[in-house]
Amino acid sequence: MDGIEKDPDALRRAGVTSPGDVREMCVMDPTGDTRITWDANNTAEVDNAREQFKTWKAKGYLAYAVKPNGDPDKQLLEFDPNAQKIIFSPPLRGG
């Protein structure tokens, strides 16, 4: 489902039972903002999102869960497939 816009018809056609099933990772990277979406009820999509999470963590990015109202929740050390939104920030570099 990666790349599908969050309009109810597109989600229904993709087999998502509810827009609440859609989760999202946002990565602030040199290209701007990369978004990865997955359906929490789709094992293949959850596995893909987990691999993406591991890739960004291995590059030193920090992951944070965000509450549904947009407030910060907590730093994530492991992938949480049920987090509504995960934001990655690039590693800090000292100077």
What pLDDT is recorded for position 51?
97
Give me the chain's average pLDDT, please.
82
Reported as a single tens digit per residue, the pLDDT across 35-81 is: 999 999 999 999 999 999 999 999 999 999 998 888 889 999 999 99
User: What residue has token string 């990865």?
Assistant: 36
C-alpha–C-alpha distance, residues 23 and 45, integer Å: 10
What pLDDT is recorded for position 18?
57
Cα 27-28-33 angle, rounded to 5 deg:
80
More confident residue, 7 or 4: 7
3-state class of 48 per DSSP? Answer: helix
